[in-house]
Amino acid sequence: MKFTCERDVIMKEIAVASEIISSRNALSILSNVMVVAEENELTIRATDLKVSFETRIPIDVADPGSTTIFCDKFLGILRSLPAGEVEFEQEGNERFIIRPLFKKIDFQLRSISSDKFPEVQLAPPESYFDFSQSDLIEMITQTIFAVSDDETRYFMNGVYLENLDGDLVMVATDGRRLSFISNKPAQPIPEFSGIIVPPKVLNLIRRLASGEGIVQLAIAEKNLFIQFDNQRISSALIEGQFPNYRRVIPESQEHRVLVRRDELQEALKRVSLLVEKSRRIYLTLTGEGMVLKSEESDIGQATEEISCEYEGPEITLAMNYGYLVDPLRVIPADTITINFTESTKAITINPEPETSYFHIVMPMQLD
């Protein structure tokens, strides 16, 4: 095998492959990236057996072939080289040579035959359905931060995806907060049982997708398959029963607060400077505005008042400030609403005007 390629082009894809590969043991085939050169195209594959990645880039092929190389060192070598054309050559069965065409540099990496590389699973072409890339990116952005990191509750370690009466719905929760978004696809989508998608593959989609055109999705019993641009990704699903999220969504809430998102965001940033282990801040609502307060007995306290629209009795809510900051980062609207009934029940954060997503947060106990 022998081919040439621009360093920056191949380095970008090898960097993605390195994120897929979990093992750093050079003796393992799973630490390697597979490269296949044929018909002036290089196919790059990586897998950790749960998530698989495949992409294709244009190259000049002098001699077709395939091999696998230790991904971590391969990426390190590419990053060390100046920009420009690089020649890659497989000599024998165990030596992969990297030579820039403009400098007398020669790297030799041990390689392992591609015959030993795990097969990449593929879905039948007819099982894919089309979905907007930009819509999928928005759905991931509005939910992924609410995924639980508690491994004992593994069924909440991913984002739930389902077809709900023809709408594509994504939900994430960690038991103290919940993020929900739905989307009406331009074309009908097939029926499928709800699945739990690991955040690793969703972050990969969000990073690689251009946001233009369509993405093709196929859902199998234990795997999710995604195709867009020149990328093909597959992921094992998280097995388990996702919580009944619909029971958490309030049917109605009595009180409504209208506040500027950026003003609340900046106030939270300042007041939270004096919050440590408890992560607790207090929101006191009156007809005159909103007062944010934090208090740590060993450090001190901070108070800030901002304007808002609220008609109702004076009330104080104790909130985990991180659970407020996270949705404010991803809501693009200038104004948001905070809806609630009482200080011990869930609040709902919506953009104003309301759209297809919302975020639910459970309050903390008042001291």
Please report the sign of the dihedral spanned by the C-alpha atoms of residue 63, residue 68, residue 70, residue 75: positive
CA–CA distance, 232 with 11 (Å, rounded to integer): 18
Evaluate if residue 316 carries a pLDDT over 60: yes
DSSP letters for 160-195: EEEEETTEEEEEEE-SSEEEEEEE--SS-------E
Q: Which two tokens stand for residue 78?
A: 């590419």
Q: 345 pLDDT band (50/70/90 cuts)?
A: very high
Evaluate if residue 288 carries a pLDDT over 80: yes
pLDDT digits (tens, 9 = 90+) for 37-68: 999 999 999 999 899 999 999 999 999 999 99
The pLDDT assigned to 300 comes to 87
Give the residue-averaged pLDDT of 316-333. Answer: 95
Query: What domains sit in the chain, N to C, each tagged with a CATH number?
Result: 2-116 (3.10.150.10), 125-247 (3.10.150.10), 255-361 (3.10.150.10)
CA–CA distance, 359 with 349 (Å, rounded to integer): 5
DSSP letters for 119-149: PPP---GGG-EEEEHHHHHHHHHTTGGG---
pLDDT digits (tens, 9 = 90+) for 231-262: 999 999 999 999 999 999 999 999 999 999 99
Residue 312's alpha-carbon distances to 219, 282, 297, 339, 340, in angstroms, are: 47, 17, 31, 12, 11
CA–CA distance, 156 with 168 (Å, rounded to integer): 19
- Statement: the pTM of the whole predicted model exceeds 0.85: yes
Q: Which two tokens stand for residue 20?
A: 């897929």
**Of 338, 273, 264, the residue nearest 300 (C-alpha):** 273
Residue whose entry in the numeric block shows the structure tokens 């952005």: 141
CA–CA distance, 219 with 82 (Å, rounded to integer): 42
